[in-house]
Amino acid sequence: MLKTLYVEGATPFHRVPLRAKLILLMTASIVLFFVSSPAILAPVFLACLCLYLTLGLSWRDALGRIGWIGFAVLVLALATWFFNGLNEAIALSLRIITLVLLAAAITATATIGAFMDEITVMLMPLERRGLLNAADVGLALGLVLRFVPEIAARYDNIREAHRARGLPVRPLTLFVPLIILTLKDADTIAMAIDARGFRRQ
Amino acid sequence: MAIEFTDCTVRFGQKTALFPLTLTLGERRIGIIGLNGSGKTTFARLINGLVKPSEGRVCVNGLDTAGDAKAVLGEAGFIFQNPQHQLIMPIVAEDIAFGLKNRGLSAAEIEERTQAVLARFAVSHLAKRRVHELSGGETQLVAIASVVVTAPKILILDEPTNQLDLKNRRLVEQAIAGLEQQVLVISHDLGLVADFDRVLLFHEGRLAADGSAEETIRHYHGIAGC
pLDDT digits (tens, 9 = 90+) for B7-34: 999 999 989 999 999 999 999 999 999 9
Range of A61-65, A136-140, B4-8, B102-106 with top mean pLDDT: B4-8
Of the listed ranges B118-127, B137-146, B162-171, the one predicted with least confidence:
B162-171
Angstroms from A137 CA to nearest CA on chain B: 13
Same domain, A160 and A196: yes
Percent of chain B residues topping a pLDDT of 90: 65
Provide the terminal-to-terminal Cα distance of chain B, rounded to the nearest Å: 36
Angstroms from A195 CA to nearest CA on chain B: 6
Q: Is residue A116 part of a domain?
A: no
- Averaged pLDDT, A10-28: 93
Same domain, A102 and A4: yes
- Averaged pLDDT, B87-114: 87
pLDDT at B126 over 90: yes
- Total domains in chain A come to 2
Q: Does the CA dihedral B149-A111-A120-A150 come out positive or negative?
A: negative
Q: Residue A196 and residue B150: Cβ atoms within 8 Å? A: yes
Across B83-118, b (16+ Cβ under 10 Å) vs e yields: bbbbbbbbbbbbbbbbbbbbeeeeeeebeebbeebb
Q: Would you state the pLDDT for residue A2?
A: 43
For chains A and B, count residue pairs whose Cβ atoms are closer than 8 Å.
82
Q: What is the DSSP letter of A112?
A: H
Cβ under 8 Å to A: B residues 156-175: none
Q: Would you state the pLDDT for residue A95?
A: 95
- Averaged pLDDT, A184-201: 76
Q: Residue A198 and residue B102: Cβ atoms within 8 Å? A: yes
Q: Residue B101 and residue A189: Cβ atoms within 8 Å? A: no
Same domain, A11 and A84: yes
Same domain, A137 and A106: no
Band of the pLDDT at A43, cuts 50, 70, 90?
Answer: very high
Same domain, A89 and A40: yes
Which residues from A are below 8 Å from B50, CB to CB?
191, 194-195
Q: Is residue A76 part of a domain?
A: yes
Tell me the C-alpha distance between B185 and B192, whole Å. 9
Q: What is the domain extent for residue A96?
A: 1-110
Q: Does the CA dihedral B115-A147-B69-A133 come out positive or negative?
A: positive
pLDDT digits (tens, 9 = 90+) for B31-79: 999 999 999 999 999 998 889 999 999 999 999 998 888 888 889 999 9
Would you call B164 exposed, middle or buried from its count of C-beta atoms within 10 A (0-12, 13-18, 19+)?
A: buried
Same domain, A106 and A137: no
Tell me the C-alpha distance between B65 and B74, whole Å. 11
DSSP element (H, E) containing B218: helix B213-224
Q: Is residue A115 part of a domain?
A: no
Same domain, A67 and A145: no
pLDDT at A56 over 90: no
Q: Is residue A123 part of a domain?
A: no
Q: What is the DSSP letter of A129?
A: T
**For B69, nearest residue in chain A (alpha carbons):** A200
pLDDT digits (tens, 9 = 90+) for A93-126: 999 999 999 999 999 999 888 888 888 888 999 9
Same domain, A98 and A195: no
Which of these three, A75, A110, A145, is where a domain ends?
A: A110
Which of these three, A110, A125, A156, is where a domain ends?
A: A110
Q: Is residue A117 part of a domain?
A: no
Cβ under 8 Å to B: A residues 115-154: 135, 142-143, 146
Q: Would you state the pLDDT for residue A1?
A: 42
Q: Is residue A65 part of a domain?
A: yes
Same domain, A153 and A104: no
Q: Is residue A119 part of a domain?
A: no
Length in residues, chain B: 226
Same domain, A85 and A146: no
Same domain, A99 and A139: no
Which of these three, A110, A141, A164, is where a domain ends?
A: A110
Q: Quick check: ipTM above 0.85?
A: no
| Pairing of the two strands B55-60 and B63-64 | antiparallel
Same domain, A25 and A106: yes
Q: Is residue A94 part of a domain?
A: yes
Q: Residue B98 and residue A1: Cβ atoms within 8 Å? A: no
